[in-house]
Amino acid sequence: MTTTAVRKDGPAAVTPTPTVGGHFRNYLSRVRGGDVGALPAVLGLIVLCTVFAIMRPSSFLSAGNFANLFTQGAAVTLIAMGLVFVLLLGEIDLSAGFASGVCAAVLANVVTVLGYPWWVAVLAAVATGVVIGTTLGMLVAKIGIPSFVVTLAGFLAFQGVVLLLVKEGTNIAVRDEVLIAIANRNLAPLLGWSLTALAVIGYAAVQLLRHRNRVARGLITDPLAVVALRIGGLAVILGTAVYVLNLERSRNVLIVSLKGVPIVVPIIAVLLVIWTFVLQRTSYGRHIYAVGGNREAARRAGIGVDRIRISVFVICSSMAAIGGIVAASRANSVDPNTGGSNVLLYAVGAAVIGGTSLFGGKGRVLDAVLGGAVVAVIENGMGLMGYSAGVKYVVTGVVLLLAASVDALSRRRAAATGTR
């Protein structure tokens, strides 16, 4: 990758026309150089699924269990998506778990105790997230307390706030139909297929337009075959998933029919697209990477560093609020432990396993989704194999450690080869 060979002719920075083979060789050399990206998460996912499929072929591979994976992992994945923003700056938010609990408790109070419609409750929950995030961000950016300490304090305090909001240990039921549907109902099969088609067509349109635009301007582009492969890959993955989710998974069809894509899936997908757009295609996103990569350089470039630092905490806590809403929906209630116990560590784990660096400057929102899938598969598969909660915690802890080691080692390797 690093060459200082002087080119004899032509303008600066011309590489030979990329070929499909060259594209893959490039990718391989990047991986060897330590830029592993989401590869460990994808490989881990394949290994875990194979192991569980061999050990528990009937239960793990069933359509019902596949659908379960999504609803089980949804809350953690959503919180992890927000955490990616904070991790990109090299900061941490330990309070995201209980922040989601606080927001869920606000939701339950507004909808059940006060009797407002569901959308008021959702707005109140997200607004609570925004307030929490602003407060945390101000303390970190303006006063200068390390985020670890601020959010550790938040972790303890929010635990107390949840207890206070649910009146010391009772739980508040959530009975609103719309709210319950989020994590417990499915899209009609036909709607699932139409949304899939829409997603694939939209992705193809964006990719092809970009390709054409770059070719028209004479810029270096990925070969068309690679673009087609990407579109095809997305179509196959989405198509297979939707096909399986649209299978009948009710044990007794005569009593109730159970099929279709769980409603949380499109919610996660839309948020994934929105946040990916923000990070990759807007100057705000670019500035987040810049501040995470070299804060001083960002400051000298005229970027409002404090503003960026506060805003990522706002995004993180707002996503935690959405995670809390999904958790409340799935449990049909909010209790003092909503967003507690392992939720936060699973979320941090998901982001890191997916390939987001704990050192800042590197990561994507997609990482959180891939990592969330790994965490959900471990939780689900270990449960099916009848292991106790103790074993599950230990295994998840080991996987998180493994992911963090991959992160640290790939950084060292990158530093050695100069290709971070």
279 interacts with another protein by CB under 8 A: no
Please identify which residue in 47, 113, 297, 391 interacts with another protein, judged by CB under 8 A: 297
The C-alpha atoms of residue 275 and residue 298 are separated, in whole angstroms, by 21
Residue type, 261: V
Please identify which residue in 259, 309, 362, 392 interacts with another protein, judged by CB under 8 A: 362
Which two structure tokens, joined as six digits, stand for 281?
Answer: 């295609």
Please identify which residue in 214, 237, 240, 257 interacts with another protein, judged by CB under 8 A: 214
The C-alpha atoms of residue 291 and residue 267 are separated, in whole angstroms, by 29
Beta bridge partners of 173: 333
Closer CB to another protein, residue 115 or residue 304? 304
The C-alpha atoms of residue 230 and residue 273 are separated, in whole angstroms, by 16
Please identify which residue in 2, 17, 170, 252 interacts with another protein, judged by CB under 8 A: 2
CB of 303 to another protein, least distance (A): 5
The C-alpha atoms of residue 31 and residue 112 are separated, in whole angstroms, by 51
With beta carbons less than 8 A apart as the criterion, state whether 264 and 358 touch.
Answer: no
Number of neighbours of residue 93 by Cβ within 10 angstroms: 32
Q: Which residue has the tokens 């269990």?
A: 65
List binders of another protein among 21-50 (CB under 8 A).
Answer: none
Closer CB to another protein, residue 89 or residue 377? 89
CB of 188 to another protein, least distance (A): 34
Number of neighbours of residue 236 by Cβ within 10 angstroms: 11
**Going by DSSP bridges, is the β-strand pair 172-173/333-334 parallel, antiparallel, or unpaired?**
antiparallel
296 interacts with another protein by CB under 8 A: yes
Closer CB to another protein, residue 62 or residue 294? 294
CB of 367 to another protein, least distance (A): 15
- Site size toward another protein (CB under 8 A) is 39
Beta bridge partners of 186: 262
Radius of gyration of the chain (CA): 22
Please identify which residue in 46, 113, 236, 301 interacts with another protein, judged by CB under 8 A: 301
**Segment contacting another protein (CB under 8 A): 9-17, 157-165, 234-242, 394-402?**
9-17
Which two structure tokens, joined as six digits, stand for 328?
Answer: 């409340």
The C-alpha atoms of residue 76 and residue 376 are separated, in whole angstroms, by 9
Please identify which residue in 21, 144, 169, 217 interacts with another protein, judged by CB under 8 A: 217
Please identify which residue in 324, 361, 372, 381 interacts with another protein, judged by CB under 8 A: 361
The C-alpha atoms of residue 371 and residue 77 are separated, in whole angstroms, by 8
Give me the 323-352 binding string for another protein, x by CB under 8 A, dash otherwise.
Answer: ------------------------------
Please identify which residue in 19, 50, 194, 213 interacts with another protein, judged by CB under 8 A: 213
Please identify which residue in 21, 169, 302, 386 interacts with another protein, judged by CB under 8 A: 302
Please identify which residue in 32, 281, 307, 412 interacts with another protein, judged by CB under 8 A: 281
Q: How far is CA 194 from CA 187, 260, 261, 389, in A?
A: 11, 12, 12, 39
Residues that bind another protein (CB under 8 A): 1-7, 11-13, 15, 213-214, 217, 219-220, 281-283, 286-287, 289-290, 292-294, 296-298, 300-303, 361-362, 414, 418-420
